[in-house]
């Protein structure tokens, strides 16, 4: 495996904007590292070979073995109020798809709100956290992205078909430094676009990769679970769920799972 290397990442970066890159062999969590730093009003990026306490959504942990995958966080001053960030996490999963499809990993899809999947198996997840300032407009966002790159899902646990890696899809090991540089590039592009037009600028891109559309799903949140047919997302990235009476309901947070269709012969 090629180790993470600061010079390599910066070399592959196609733009020259000021950013501070922090690389670690081992860290508790790249998100926590950036969240706990004082604000500098500039972009900071943190990646590690291994996380001892990688964090996922809803307090879950994120398995982060040494040297295999990407554990990436970016802390970014947005210059807008946090209330303008509806759909931000969905946009991040589109950035991950763009980055990985460049490498020949396709077809990739999204599972609302922000899992990237291949053949119904999870390839990448993202955890967006806010660092809120008293002056709301100076609040910053920490974007945490975990991508399974070189882990071999067959080798690690042949019974676990719930996740996959870029290696499983393209059949070869990939240089994480190049992926990280491409990720930073696409992130920068997409965030600029988001800050101008919000999530509505990404709806058609979302629709093209929405794995849940027209499928029976369960939405889990604090007051759920709710069952219905997924009908895509609205202008703010909220999930649209149709109940058995045909009524539409909107959800801004939660987790989803697709219900298995029961074949009549089984
Ligand atoms: C999820 O799907 O539950 C989100 C997973 C997010 C994992 C990434 S790995 C880099 C960053 N640091 C963390 O502790 N978590 C995120």
Q: What is the full per-residue pLDDT of the chain (266 aa) written as tens digits?
A: 899 999 999 999 977 788 999 999 999 999 999 999 999 999 999 999 999 999 999 999 999 999 999 999 999 999 888 889 999 999 999 999 999 999 999 999 999 999 999 999 999 999 999 998 888 888 899 999 999 999 988 775 555 679 999 999 999 999 999 999 999 999 999 999 999 999 999 999 999 999 999 999 999 999 989 999 999 999 999 999 999 999 999 999 999 999 865 555 44
Tokens standing for residue 9: 């990442």
Cα(119)–Cα(163) distance, rounded to whole angstroms?
9
**Mutate which of 92, 127, 180 for ligand 1 pocket (most atoms within 8 A of beta carbon):** 127
**Mutate which of 72, 144, 179, 220 for ligand 1 pocket (most atoms within 8 A of beta carbon):** 144
Q: Which of 126, 9, 26, 22 shows the shortest CA–CA distance to 66? A: 26
Cβ 56 under 6 angstroms from ligand 1: yes
Q: What is the pLDDT of residue 266?
A: 47
Tokens standing for residue 170: 């393209």
Cα(116)–Cα(108) distance, rounded to whole angstroms?
7
Cβ 60 under 6 angstroms from ligand 1: yes
Residue 29 CA: nearest ligand 1 atom is 14
Q: How far is the CA of 83 from the centre of ligand 1 (A)?
A: 22
């Amino acid at each position: 495996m090629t180790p993470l290397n600061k010079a390599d990442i910066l070399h592959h970066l196609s733009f020259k904007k000021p950013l501070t890159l922090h690389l670690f062999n081992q860290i508790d969590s790249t998100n926590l590292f950036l969240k706990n730093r004082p604000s500098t009003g500039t972009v900071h990026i943190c990646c590690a070979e291994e996380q001892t306490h990688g964090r996922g959504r809803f307090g879950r942990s994120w398995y982060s073995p040494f040297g295999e995958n990407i554990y990436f966080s970016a802390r970014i001053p947005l210059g807008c109020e946090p209330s303008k960030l509806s759909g931000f996490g969905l946009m991040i999963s589109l950035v991950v798809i763009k980055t990985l499809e460049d490498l020949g990993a396709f077809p990739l899809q999204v599972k609302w709100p922000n899992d990237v999947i291949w053949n119904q198996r999870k390839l990448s997840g993202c955890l967006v956290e806010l660092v809120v300032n008293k002056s709301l407009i100076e609040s910053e966002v920490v974007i945490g992205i975990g991508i399974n790159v070189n882990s071999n899902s067959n080798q690690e646990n042949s019974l676990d078909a719930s996740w996959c890696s870029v290696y499983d899809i393209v059949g070869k090991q990939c240089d994480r430094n190049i992926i990280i540089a491409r990720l930073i590039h696409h992130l920068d592009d997409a965030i600029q676009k988001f800050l101008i037009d919000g999530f509505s600028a990404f709806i058609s891109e979302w629709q093209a990769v929405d794995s849940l559309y027209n499928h029976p799903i369960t939405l889990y949140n604090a007051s759920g679970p709710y069952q219905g047919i997924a009908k895509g997302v609205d202008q703010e990235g909220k999930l649209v769920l149709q109940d058995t009476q045909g009524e539409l309901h909107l959800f801004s947070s939660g987790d989803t799972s697709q219900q298995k269709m029961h074949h009549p012969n089984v």
